[in-house]
Amino acid sequence: MARSESLPGKASGPPEEGRPGREALALEAERSLRQRLVARDEQALVELIEIASPWLLGLTRTMLADSDEAEEVVLEVFATAWDRIGRLGDEGGALMPWLLRITRNRAIDRLRRRRRWQVKHARAETFDALPVGRMGGELDESAKPGWHVHESVHAALAALPTEQREAVRLAYFQGLTHSEIARELGIPMGTVKTRLRLAFDKLRVSLASIKDWVL
Amino acid sequence: MNAHDWYVENRAGFVARSLEAAEERTFRDHLARCAECTAEVTRLERDLAWLPMALAPEAPPPGFARRAAEQIQGRRGRWRQWVPYGLAAAGLLLALGTGYRGGEERQALRAVLADRESRLLALEDTLSVLRGARQVVQTPIAMDGRHGGLLIFQDPASHRWCVVVHGLPPAPAGNVYQFWFITESGMVRSVIVNAETARPAFFTLPMPPVRSPVMGAALTVEPALNRSPEPQGQQLAHVTF
């Protein structure tokens, strides 16, 4: 297992340009897309997949280190979203965070069901060794929405002390349990919990300003 | 340290999903009983909702979106292939059942079956308009502090629209919600939208029998007895294609 200090891959490319009223536009666009999804508009489903899949695939490919399985999970997530979109309003959540949460949970479920940590860690090592921004050059315009969120979150993670960032990386992005992280890093489990808690406290503050998703 | 402290200490771990499986189950059981932890976990999940976007996006394979959408639609559509068999089975059961019953009862059962068939045909017809829509427009509506929307699916092949109006309160006393077509030669009165129930109003409309092409639609509040060819009341929505 790599003990890379690097952040999760940060794609290269231009940040989303700021423009007046962007938040209002984003919220309106999301509301419109959600309404069309609730109305079972198949084109809306295609649009949602085009917008969200680069980010969901980025998450699943990193966590699962297996492109085919990553696509399977993302497909499951969209199927779930299509079935449950009507309930999202009741949960009071925004579309993209909802998809991200389902995706991460599904990826962790897969990792735990397989219980093939050693293999996966070995593959993850390969992933960690990949240069930062490895896929950036292949992205087209469809990946641009959400770029400002990516920039902000990446900066928030980069601002964490190294040991806290590492705990977040192993727990949140590699799906390891406290005891596995403790073994991995050779530290007591209580220290793992403390690092995670401190990191999350800081991230909550840093990420609080992100309220919208630019479609 | 009391028992609850363990849950407080492990909230972050629960959200990160870094608890052991047994611990996760224990924590989940606790959430069902503890409003404080539930609220804090919900807040934490919301505050960290964007964290996965720290990872770089990855370009999906070419055609992924269309292929994925078709797979999802195909999966959902599988039940529809059983509809004809279901109807046939229902018909067979009816036929068998009516063998033992008098002619009057047989007649009633045939009427029920015919009613079901006509409903199914109507449903299929509506779906064909929705699926055939080449343009979908929507606009928000606000009325008496309530917010809803107007959604129009435009099917050029059948020259029909499926229209959904949702979120409206019942019309004010003595008034109705009037749907209009906007044509090059003016407004054309269409149907009255029923907003008396909590369910969205859903209707399919043919294009009006006018020579001018239809350019859009409007929704207004009109006095119930007013049959003016032009809108007189408050405009709630106005969309053009």
Asked if the C-beta of B18 comes within 8 angstroms of chain A's C-beta atoms, the answer is yes
Report residue B225 CA to chain centroid gap.
31
Q: According to the model, what pLDDT value does residue B109 have? A: 82
CA-based nearest distance B22→chain A, Å: 12
Spatial separation of the C-alpha atoms in residues B91 and B239, rounded to whole Å: 45
Model pTM score: 0.56
CA-based nearest distance B57→chain A, Å: 4
Q: According to the model, what pLDDT value does residue B154 have? A: 86
* Helices A147-158, A189-207: inter-axial angle, 10-degree rounding: 140
CATH code linked to domain A21-123? 1.10.1740.10
Whether the pLDDT of residue B85 is over 90: the answer is no
Nearest neighbour of A108 by CB, restricted to B17, B48, B56: B17
Whether the pLDDT of residue B78 is over 60: the answer is no
Residues A152-181, mean pLDDT to the nearest whole number: 92
Q: According to the model, what pLDDT value does residue B97 have? A: 58
Query: Choosing among B14, B58, B64, which should be mutated to test the A contact, i.e. which has the most A CBs within 10 A?
Result: B58
In this complex, do B57 and A139 lie within 8 Å of one another by their Cβ atoms?
Answer: yes
Among chain B residues, CA nearest to A73: B68
Is the model more confident about A52 or about B76? A52
Which residues share a beta bridge with B182?
A: B187, B216
Domain ranges of chain B: 3-54, 82-132, 135-240
Name A120's Cβ contacts closer than 8 Å, sequence gap at least 6. Answer: A64, A65, A111, A114
Please give the interface size between A and B, counted as residue pairs whose CB atoms are below 8 Å apart: 189
Residue B145 confidence class, pLDDT cut points 50, 70, 90: confident
Is the model more confident about B196 or about B154? B154
Domain ranges of chain A: 21-123, 146-215
Name the phi and psi angles at A158, rounded to 5: -65, -25
Give whichever of B2-6, B82-86, B220-224 has the largest mean pLDDT: B220-224
The fraction of chain A above a pLDDT of 70, given in percent, is 68
Residue A147 confidence class, pLDDT cut points 50, 70, 90: confident
Q: Which helix (H) or strand (E) holds B2?
A: none
Whether the pLDDT of residue B140 is over 70: the answer is yes
Nearest neighbour of B55 by CB, restricted to A82, A173, A200: A173
B94-118 pLDDT per residue, tens: 666 555 556 777 777 887 787 777 6
Give whichever of A20-24, A97-101, A141-145 has the largest mean pLDDT: A97-101
- Residue-averaged pLDDT of chain A: 76
Whether the pLDDT of residue A97 is over 80: the answer is yes
Q: According to the model, what pLDDT value does residue A3 have? A: 39
Q: Which helix (H) or strand (E) holds B88?
A: helix B83-99
Is the model more confident about A128 or about B69? B69
CA-based nearest distance A191→chain B, Å: 12
Q: According to the model, what pLDDT value does residue B221 have? A: 93
Is the model more confident about B120 or about A54? A54
Both tokens of A141, joined, read: 């315009």
**Residues 68..127 of A with a Cβ closer than 8 Å to B: which?**
71, 74-75, 78-79, 82-83, 93-94, 96-97, 100-101, 103-105, 108, 112
Fold exhibited by the domain A146-215: Arc Repressor Mutant, subunit A (1.10.10)
B154-173 pLDDT per residue, tens: 887 778 888 999 988 888 88
Alpha-carbon Rg for chain B, nearest whole angstrom, is 27
Which ipTM did the prediction report? 0.78
Which 3-state string (H, E, C) describes B41-79? Answer: HHHHHHHCCCHHHHCCCCCCCCCHHHHHHHHHHHHHHHH
B22-54 pLDDT per residue, tens: 999 999 999 999 999 999 999 998 888 889 988
Q: According to the model, what pLDDT value does residue A23 have? A: 53
- Determine whether domain B135-240 maps to CATH 3.10.350: no
Is A17 exposed, middle or buried (CB count within 10 Å of its CB: 0-12, 13-18, 19+)?
exposed
Whether the pLDDT of residue B125 is over 50: the answer is yes
For residue B57, list chain A residues with Cβ-Cβ distance below 8 A. 11, 54-55, 57-58, 135, 139, 143, 146, 150
Whether the pLDDT of residue A11 is over 60: the answer is no
Residues B201-205, mean pLDDT to the nearest whole number: 83
Write the Ramachandran bin of B222: left for phi over 0, alpha for psi from -120 to 50, otherwise beta.
beta
Q: According to the model, what pLDDT value does residue A171 have? A: 92
| Least confident window among A12-26, A74-88, B8-22, B186-200 | A12-26
Whether the pLDDT of residue A137 is over 60: the answer is no
In this complex, do A178 and B19 lie within 8 Å of one another by their Cβ atoms?
Answer: yes
Residues B48-70, mean pLDDT to the nearest whole number: 88
Q: According to the model, what pLDDT value does residue B91 have? A: 67
The fraction of chain B above a pLDDT of 70, given in percent, is 88
Q: According to the model, what pLDDT value does residue B208 have? A: 83
Burial of A22-53, coded b for 16+ CB within 10 Å and e otherwise, reads eeeebbebbebbbbbbbbbbbebbbbbbbbbb
